[in-house]
Amino acid sequence: MHQFGVLTRRQLLEGGLTPAQLRTRLGREWRLVLRGVVLLSNGVPSEQQRLMAALVFAGPRSWLAGSSAAAVHGIAGLPVSSPIQVLVPAPLRSRAHGWVLVRNTTLLDEPIYRRGPLRLSCPARAAVDAAAAAPSDEQARAVLVAAAQSRKARLSDLAHWTLVRGQAGSRRLHEGLAVAASGAWSVPEADLLRLLSSSTVLPAVWANPEVRASSGRRLTTPDVWIDDVALAVMVHSRQWHADGLAWESTVEQDTDLQTARVVVVGVTPHSIRSRPRWVRERVETAYLEARATGVRADVVATPRDPWLGVRPVTRRSS
């Protein structure tokens, strides 16, 4: 059985090993990683082996859940951390042991995904449960935004699992859904959208539209877009990129917009939080100056619908 070299005592005994042989091998060649769960080596278990051990410990009707499942799905860059979250159907009992937390649930109407021998929650439920248990509201929002932005989960599915959870963590989940539904791809972008939407000067702003040059070449996706003057607002932050090189690449890619004569305004998350009025006035000034020239970059922008996950008919201001 392919279980990353993780089996129960029962499996080993049913496979023909005697109790004496098992005792001899434990501590020499193998190690006990959880109660009744054996790793067929004496080294440190890998991430996959820890996840498998959690499922083996919880039983054949169990599946990975919450942040553990979200990590396997690759949502929000979440790591596999302790305790590993596992669900079992009620009336099986909840329990905790070592680095595993097993909870029972009556919410069983979900497709169980498989990654080899691993069983796990669907991406939407994993993201919602991970957000509900996140250490802060900001981290909860970030998980839901990342799930929607990466297309790991549809907004409608995130909304479904938020509703079926009932009141548990509902405030932060509904706030996170609102951010994801705005089309923002990060919490700072959502803050910027709210800020610019409060302006009495600016027209409606778009979040993360697809922008193409007149040749049809796709340009860098702007964080916020004002279409009638082809103005892009870019949020530059190291925090929301995996490493410094990714951040530098994002900043440098703004030049393709500038080469296409798009007006580009750069802001930082710190400025959005600490000087919101200054940020809004800066964008308003850039917009008014661009409108006064009467010249618009020859680009075509297409707004995204975050609920549908598809792009509607292309619009372009004259």
- Summarised one tens digit per residue, pLDDT across range 4-49 is 999 999 999 988 999 999 998 997 899 999 999 999 999 999 999 9
Q: Helices 137-149 and 123-132 sit at what angle, rounded to 10 degrees?
A: 170
Give the whole-angstrom CA distance, residue 23 versus residue 28: 9
**Is there a domain that residue 310 lies in?**
no
Same domain, 155 and 57: yes
Residue carrying structure tokens 């009744």:
36
Token pair for 215: 């040749």
Give the whole-angstrom CA distance, residue 102 versus residue 97: 8
- Summarised one tens digit per residue, pLDDT across range 178-232 is 989 888 888 899 999 999 999 999 999 999 999 999 999 999 999 999 999 999 9
Same domain, 12 and 68: no
**Domains: count for the chain:** 3
pLDDT score recorded for residue 243: 42
Q: How confident is the model at residue 306 (pLDDT cuts 50, 70, 90)?
A: confident
Same domain, 168 and 247: no
**Is there a domain that residue 113 lies in?**
yes
Same domain, 142 and 244: no
Same domain, 57 and 175: yes
Same domain, 83 and 166: yes
Q: Domain boundary at 122, 155, 181, which?
A: 181
Same domain, 66 and 25: no
Structural domain of residue 263, as residue ranges? 187-302
**Is there a domain that residue 318 lies in?**
no
DSSP string over 67-132:
HHHHHHHT-TT----SSEEEEEETTSPPEEETTEEEEEES---SPPEEETTEEE--HHHHHHHHHH
Q: Domain boundary at 162, 181, 200, which?
A: 181
**Is there a domain that residue 144 lies in?**
yes
Looking at residue 248, which CATH number applies to its domain? Answer: 3.40.960.10
Same domain, 192 and 90: no
**Is there a domain that residue 317 lies in?**
no
Same domain, 151 and 197: no
Give the whole-angstrom CA distance, residue 290 versus residue 227: 11
Same domain, 291 and 200: yes
Same domain, 98 and 159: yes
